[in-house]
Each structure stands twice: as structure tokens, then as C-alpha cells.
Structure 1
């Protein structure tokens, strides 16, 4: 595997790439994304545990965010290669349990937004900025769906129903829809939610695949 070979023969280069990931911009230009190709980036929360982890396979980024807290949002900067961000900088997407927000509207002061393409093929080259009509975040209300009772959050209208809920098993599963997301600075991405559970089965671990447009 390319990543393993890179770690074996260029350890200092890889470490340098990881520490410099904050300065890299994710965009539609493949050259910019290739700067992060061999990296695995992770960010720790206050207690020292990993809260956001991102890998890159040469084509797509895969990010897992520990959003298991029911009271605190986890903010992610896609432009920095899928790093954890704070709420007062240009974050692009945020998570709290199963709720997802973009840096727009009632959620943030950025130029973000999102929409569903209604496609499940994230590799499709026909998905672009004009694939759907972007909407800004607004107050969303949920009653019972997902097994968590009532919820009222400032969130993305398109991403608010990214999952299916099984009332018998109480399990959430992704609809695998592909979304177009505009970042806080106007950069476009396509993303697909993959999972809501960690490898140990703990809920609130939001896993998604994404790429700059």
C-alpha cells in the first residue's frame, strides 16, 4: 500500500506533511490535494483522545469525527485536509451526534451551504457545483426520529435527514446520498456520509468520504 511504503522510506517527510496540514488548502485542483496524499491527520480533544481523524487514499479523503457528545459540536475544516477546528475560525462542517451543520445561515458567519444531489455515486464525474441548489443552515426540528426524542438544532436542511432509522434495532444507517457542500470560504466539495458508529459500535462517530470539486 502506498501509504505504508511512504511511512517506511520517508518518515520525516510524512511527519512534516502531517504537521503542516493546517496550511494546505483543499480545492478542485488535484495538485493541491496531492500534497496531503500520504498523510494521516488527527486532532485531539481536551482529554487527549482523538476527536477527528482523516486519511487520504490518493483520490478521496475519509474523515471520522467523534461527535458523541450531546452538548458540544465538533468542528472540521475541510480546507485544512479534514482537521478539527474551533468555532471561531473558518470551519466548514460541524457535528453533534447525528446532526450536521455547515458554516452558513443560523449556524455560522461563513459562505457555506449544502444540498443533496440524490445520487449515491460519489465517484461520478457529473457531480459538480451546479448539481443541486445550495441552501443555508436554519433551525431544524425533529420529533422522535432516530430514537433520541425531540431535537431542535441549527443545522443543514439537506443533511438533517442523511440517515435511515430502524425502529426495531434503533440503528442509524446512511442513505449514502452524495451532497455538495460549500465551505466557509466558498470552496466546493462533494461528500457522502458512511457511518454513525465506531469500530466498537459506539454511536456518534460520524464517518464520511469527501473530495474538493
Structure 2
């Protein structure tokens, strides 16, 4: 079923086209007869029995009390080797069996319906491989852009913190202008604003402490998140 384009509004047109190609298509489904399903089931059973037979052919070794761990390690290694050998043989045999029908389908030399229906599936496989490759490239590009944006954001935050620090230092160095104020009403308003600022700052510190405690107690991995880490460790400049 093709995806609704409204769900992918953030994607570029070519990426939406790739998703359309990769969507499921009911025409790709091949209906097998009961006899064909039975043949496939029996073939799978034969493969499993061959694997069991290959494993049973391994000669069991007697285990002595001194070399039990070494013997178990050897037996495990031989088991893995036998299974790997059987798997390689099975894949080789399957590839040989698959090659001839696919070649007939591609070169339009098919004589039976199952072989004829393979052509569309082969084309579908190639389209999906192409779509997967392009989507993987797009995904890598997006991750790279995100990484650059995060680095740029960190640099901007650091620059902002530096500027704020410089501004605070400049305002601290010259406070004599308050002594030169002649307007009593303006001085009173200034005192009120400073009192409100202190009250707001105290409320902010309380809220930040509560939020920090909630983050720590939530079980989130805050150490790997710059924003949460700054909140918990109070890395931001006041």
C-alpha cells in the first residue's frame, strides 16, 4: 500500500518517490497451489534433517574430569563448523536452483507460469535495492547535516555565554551612574525593578532545582543530552 504523502511532508519529492517505489504492491504476491506449498514444506524438512544428520555424524568424545572445559570448547567449535559447512552447501545449492529460472524469466524463455511470474519479482528486487541504497544515502546525509547543526548550535551557545559574561563584567565595572541620579522617582522605580528581578530570580532558581530533581529521578539518560545535562549540573551561566 502506497504511503500517504501527507505523512512525509518533511521529505523531498525524490525521497517520497523512493518510498512510493518501496511500498508493497499486491501484484508482487504470487499465489502458490497446495501442491507447491507442500513441496516447499517438504524441502525445508529435508534441509533440517540433513543438518541434524550432519551434526549427529560428529563423533562424541569422552570427557575426563581434568579437560571438561577444553573438550566442551572443542565440541562447540566442531558444532559451529559443521553447521557453517552445511549452511554454505545449502546456500550454494539454493543459488544453483534459483539461477536457471531467473535467467529464463529475464531472457523471456520461461515455459511455465511460475517462471514467467519471476520477471516482475526480479524487477521489483532491483527497484527495492536501488531505493534502499538511495534512502540510505539520504539518511546518511541527514545525519551529517544534523551533526553539523548540533556543532554549530554548541558554538553559538558558547559564543552567547561569552558575550553575556562580558556584558555582565562591563555593567559591574561601572555602577557610579546610580549615584548621579537626580530623579527620585526614577531611582525608586529602579529599586522596585531590582527587587522584582531578585524575586523572579529566586523563583527561577527554585523551578530549576525542581526540574533538575525530576530529570534525575525520571531515569532518563540525561548525561548524554546536552540540555538535560546543563539543567542537572547547572552548567548554564546565570
| TM-score bucket of the superposed structures, by smaller chain | under 0.3
**Please, what TM-score do these two structures have when normalized by structure 2?**
0.16
Q: Pick the structure with greater CA Rg.
A: 2
Q: Which has the higher contact order (CA 8 A, sep 6+)?
A: 1
In terms of fraction of residues, the more strand-rich structure is 1
